[in-house]
Each structure stands twice: as C-alpha cells, then as structure tokens.
Amino acid sequence: MDTCRQIARVRVEWASECERLLEAYMQQCGRRLSPQEQDEFIVDQLLFADIRLSCEPCLPASTSDLDGVTIQGRFFLQIIDIVNIAAGQEQRREDTSNRLLKVCFTDGHQVVFGIEHTPLHGLSTKTPPGTKVVVQNAEVRHGLLMLRSIDILGPSFNPTLEGPATPAPTGLPIANTPTIALHHALPAPVAAASYTTDQGRSPIADAMPQEMPRTQTIDLDLSDEERDTDPAIRHLFYGPATTMPPSQQRRAPPPQQQPSVRRPTPSTLPTPINAPPPATASPRPDPRQPFTYLSMVEAQIASAMSPVTLHFKAFVKSVAAFKFTDGYDLMIYVEDGTRTLLVSVNPMFVERLMGVPCAEFKHAMAVDIPKATGWAQQMQVRLQVLEGVMTIRFAPGAIPQLEACEDLTAAMTLALWARVRVGTT
C-alpha cells in the first residue's frame, strides 16, 4: 500500500478494502505473496478502480478558473476522453500528422482539460478512458493544463471505465467541450464499495466492481466547427456581428401586475335557498405546460429511454455550425434562463428561416454568391431575434432537435396563469 500512497492520495476505506482483498487472494493461492507481488497486486487494483472511489481529490480547487500559474506537485489523474482538435470533426478520433490532443482528466472531484503543448508520445486518440496518469508541475493557461510531459501508469482494464461513454442528451464527447468549470459534473465518491481485479489480472473473479454512474457531458461544441461552413458566408455566422452588445441583449420583461378584481362582500352575495354540494377540486395543472425549464427536466431527459418532446420559453444565443452539403445542417445554442443547450435545427425550420430550399441555396452558392449571401444574412438576422416557446425533441443518444418556435399565445398565457395561481395558493 505504501507504493500506492507514493503515487496518489488513496482513501482510507479503499485501502482497507484492498488489503482485505489481498488477504483473501493469498488464502486462495495457498501461499503468502512476496512484497513485490503484493505491491503489483495493489497497484493493479489502483489502476482498475474508479478514481472517484479510490482517491481523495488532489488538484487545486477551481483549477479551471486559474490562468498564468503553475500548479506544483504530482497529480494522479484519470483520463475521461481524448480528441485530436487539429483534425476535422470526422477525424478527431485519429492521430493525424499535425495532431493536437485535448485531454479530459478528473481527479475524482473536478474535471479539467489539458492541451498537448509538446508531443506526448505515450498518449494517442486510442488511449482508452480510465487510463491513470501522473501530471507534474503543470502550467495552467485560461484553465487549460499545458501538457509538456506526462507519466502513463497504465490502462484500467475496467469495462465500466473503458466502455463507450454514456451519451448525454446531446451525445457529444466531453473532450469536445470548451474549458469551463465542471466541479459538480461528477457524483460524490461512494464509500462502502467492493473492489476486485479483472479476470485477466488475478484469479479472483467472483465479484465485479459496482458500476458507477458515469460523468455527464456538457453539450457545448468547439468554435472551430466554423471550418465546416463555406468561407463565402462564414463571416455571417462567426464574425463580430454575431455577438450582440450587452445593451441589446434580451432582458426578462418586468412581471405583469395581476389585474385587480373586486371581491364580492357577504352583503352582495345572493342567499342560496338550497346550497349545492361543495365543488370538487380541479386537477392541478401540468407543471410542464405551457412550457418548462431545462434545469427542471434534466433528470427526465437523461433517463428517458424513448424520444420525448418538451416546450421551453427560450431564445437563440449563438450559432455553433452551419453546413448545407447534403441538406441544411444548422447547430445553435439556445438558452431559457436556467441552462444553455446545443441543438440541431429541423431542416424544414431552417428552410423557413432561410426563405429558400437547400438545393436552391446550394446552387446560388455556386453561381451567384451575393444572392446566396443575402439569404444567409436574412437567416442570421432572424436567428438573432428568434425567441418564443421552442419545441425541442430529445432522443436517446442524439443531439436534441429544435422543431419549431412560436410566439406566446393567449391560450399559453392562461395556462401559465393557472399554473402560477395554483402554485401560490
């Protein structure tokens, strides 16, 4: 166990369980292992275990908020995902000649990202998730670890860590997200858990480790998706004009005052001769109607086994990507005041925003670029002011799709008023 303590800050309960497992293994073998064999056994257990169970957090708090500093010391980390951000979207899982790796790590408490500052020969896009590494004296710039060297301790051989990542509602790999603080992305470590080795590592195979909940991904895309947009219209979606100044950003409208209603006094009420039976209470309004909030349905979306369609009062925050090679393919960020969500836009809805079918727009891009640019400019303007009740379809393993957006109607206002009134009574 001393060897592991030199590598990582192992948890006391994990160390006790690991030593108990070692004793059981030696009893099964019928002999006592040498000190070297015991160290190898325990290190194998450390590599196999989920770092959330085996280790205390080691990174400085809020590492993603640091900039221009060097964090001193050795940090035992677990790899969550690796992509090659120098390649296009379709080649990010390949090691190209000009590769630039972006690595997503965790110390079991917070998620951090690292950039391959100098070539790291021990890492590749094929390095499996769960691999344990040691990063030493890393420089941090804008929350990113500048990786100049890294010690690879070995893969985990743990199927719950090396298997395909559980897709979030939008299903994007976590290393494709920008550098943002994700201190609550991982669940709290579970105490009292059983640990065991992989069948290929030791004869003990009577129990497999408990499957831990996987890290939920944050569905934001890298800005270099703009390379997929035709250069002739790229500036319309990724230039400075796309960002609205703070003075023009939408603000929540002031709450409308409830219309004053004169309540009848007892003297004005008619005196009933035969009082009717008391009215039965009307059913409570659906809290998801006429719209709900992303923060309220996160658990429902994550656990849904079949497609679900929900409504949100939201607006378009920015454009993530736009392509038209095989039909309109528009990706945007929408926000409802509680969360920001990356969605694809239904091609028919894109056609309404553009004003022309994709085939006509594609033809214009080949023969009349100014005309096509005008259509794209028109769509950009419409996106900048697009706000209302958005219908978004969530399907397991797929990016949510924006189906429609409509203005708040009188019927929606009445439904909202009924919901609010019940909530205040």
More confident residue, 155 or 251: 155
Asked whether residue 197 is domain-assigned, the answer is no
- Contacts of residue 404, defined as CB under 8 A and 6 or more positions apart, other chains included, come to 346, 349, 390, 391
For residue 357, give its domain range. Answer: 294-423
Which two three-digit tokens encode residue 387? 């706000």
Instruction: Indicate if 419 and 304 belong to the same structural domain.
Output: yes
Instruction: Indicate if 338 and 403 belong to the same structural domain.
Output: yes
CATH at residue 119: 2.40.50.770
Instruction: Indicate if 146 and 29 belong to the same structural domain.
Output: no
Asked whether residue 331 is domain-assigned, the answer is yes
Asked whether residue 332 is domain-assigned, the answer is yes
Question: Given this model, what pLDDT does residue 264 score?
Answer: 47
Asked whether residue 232 is domain-assigned, the answer is no
Q: How far apart are CA 170 and CA 399, in angstroms?
A: 4
Instruction: Indicate if 318 and 414 belong to the same structural domain.
Output: yes
Instruction: Indicate if 36 and 144 belong to the same structural domain.
Output: no
Provide mean pLDDT across the span 420-425: 62
Question: Given this model, what pLDDT does residue 411 score?
Answer: 80
CATH at residue 346: 2.40.50.140
Question: Given this model, what pLDDT does residue 169 score?
Answer: 38
Among 212-226, 268-282, 400-414, name the most confident range.
Answer: 400-414
Question: Given this model, what pLDDT does residue 285 score?
Answer: 60
Instruction: Indicate if 44 and 99 belong to the same structural domain.
Output: no
Residue that has been written with the tokens 């059983």 in this structure: 194
More confident residue, 41 or 289: 41
Of 123, 154, 185, which one is at a domain's C-terminal end?
A: 154
Asked whether residue 103 is domain-assigned, the answer is yes
Instruction: Indicate if 29 and 84 belong to the same structural domain.
Output: no
Instruction: Indicate if 408 and 371 belong to the same structural domain.
Output: yes
Q: How far apart are CA 107 and CA 63, in angstroms?
A: 11
Q: Transcribe 241-304 into DSSP letters.
A: GGSPPGGGS--PPPPPPPPP-PPPPGGGS---SSPPPPPPPPPPPPTTSS-B-GGGSHHHHHH-
Of 154, 178, 198, which one is at a domain's C-terminal end?
A: 154
Instruction: Indicate if 38 and 118 belong to the same structural domain.
Output: no
The answer to whether the pTM exceeds 0.75 is no
Count CA atoms within 13 Å of residue 308 on its CB side.
Answer: 16
Asked whether residue 180 is domain-assigned, the answer is no
The pLDDT-based confidence of 115 (bands split at 50, 70, 90) is very high
Provide mean pLDDT across the span 94-111: 90
**ω before 264 within 30° of 0 (cis)?**
no
Asked whether residue 282 is domain-assigned, the answer is no
Give 329's strand partners.
323
Asked whether residue 301 is domain-assigned, the answer is yes
Of 134, 154, 174, which one is at a domain's C-terminal end?
A: 154
Instruction: Indicate if 81 and 27 belong to the same structural domain.
Output: no
Instruction: Indicate if 40 and 68 belong to the same structural domain.
Output: no
Instruction: Indicate if 35 and 75 belong to the same structural domain.
Output: no
Question: Given this model, what pLDDT does residue 404 score?
Answer: 92
Mean pLDDT of the chain: 75
More confident residue, 150 or 253: 150
How many domains does the chain fold into?
A: 3
